[in-house]
């Protein structure tokens, strides 16, 4: 399995620019989900024509597993500009069940009603539990049940497969 993150980020940047051109999305609000999604978004925003600074989202309190025993969140800052009628590019590192993305969209709608939300994912594990699909995907990975993707960063961003 090839996990060349620089090549994947480069291909993903090109695909995102083409997607925005095709959809006629100008000046999008790029929103990275803490922490890995922010690291990926910092790289992707450089390829886009936008004058809106990178926005960040902490979905900790929007997760559906927040009340489970043993969850001790390290809350990070949410920083969103005015999003009413804006085109959002939501960025995360890994799409697994879709629950993180659902939580992120819930939080975004608490801030206003965007014109659209497009999803850009570095690694899609194709293990969806919810009907959520990415518009732009860096790479689709097929993992063994005991494997997980781990990003470390932010500078440089590194990816590794870990055994659970």
What whole-number distance in Å separates Cα of residue 91 and Cα of residue 126?
Answer: 17
> Under 8 Å CB-to-CB from 67, ≥6 apart: which residues?
none
**Which residue, chain included where needed, has tokens 């993180």?**
100
Q: Is the pLDDT of residue 68 over 60?
A: no
Q: What is the pTM of this model?
A: 0.92
Tell me which residue has tokens 């732009």.
136
Report pLDDT digits (tens) over 107-164. Answer: 999 999 999 999 999 999 999 999 999 999 999 999 998 999 999 999 999 999 999 8
How does the average pLDDT of the chain come out, rounded? 91
Taking CA 16 as the corner, what is the angle to CA 15 and CA 20, rounded to the nearest 5 degrees?
A: 120
Residues 75-94 pLDDT 10s: 677 899 999 999 999 999 99
Helix, strand or coil for residue 98? coil
- Structural domains for the chain: 5-163 (3.40.50.2020)
Residue 145 to residue 104: CA distance in whole angstroms: 26
For residues 159 and 12, what is the distance between their CA atoms, to the nearest angstrom? Answer: 15
pLDDT reading at 50 higher than 70: yes
Average pLDDT score over residue span 26-36: 96
Supply the pLDDT for residue 75: 62
29, two tokens: 């609000």
pLDDT at position 2 is 76
Q: Give the Cα separation of 114 and 92 in Å (integer).
A: 18
- The answer to whether the beta carbons of residues 44 and 18 sit under 8 Å apart is no
Question: Is 100's pLDDT higher than 70?
Answer: yes
């Amino acid at each position: 399995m090839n996990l060349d993150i620089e090549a994947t980020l480069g291909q993903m940047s090109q695909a995102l620019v083409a997607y925005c051109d095709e959809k006629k999305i100008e000046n999008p609000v790029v929103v990275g989900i803490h922490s890995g999604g922010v690291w990926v978004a910092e790289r992707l925003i450089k390829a886009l024509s936008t004058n809106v600074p990178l926005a960040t989202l902490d979905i900790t309190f929007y997760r559906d597993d927040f009340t489970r025993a043993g969850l001790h969140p390290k809350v990070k800052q949410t920083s969103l500009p005015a999003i009413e009628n804006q085109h959002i590019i939501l960025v995360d590192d890994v799409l697994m069940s879709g629950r993180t993305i659902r939580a992120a969209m819930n939080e975004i709608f608490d801030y206003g009603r965007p014109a659209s939300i497009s999803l850009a994912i570095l690694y899609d594990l194709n293990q969806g539990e919810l009907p959520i699909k990415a518009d732009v995907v860096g790479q689709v990975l097929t993992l063994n049940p005991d494997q997980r993707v781990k990003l470390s960063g932010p500078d440089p961003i590194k990816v590794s497969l870990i055994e659970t």
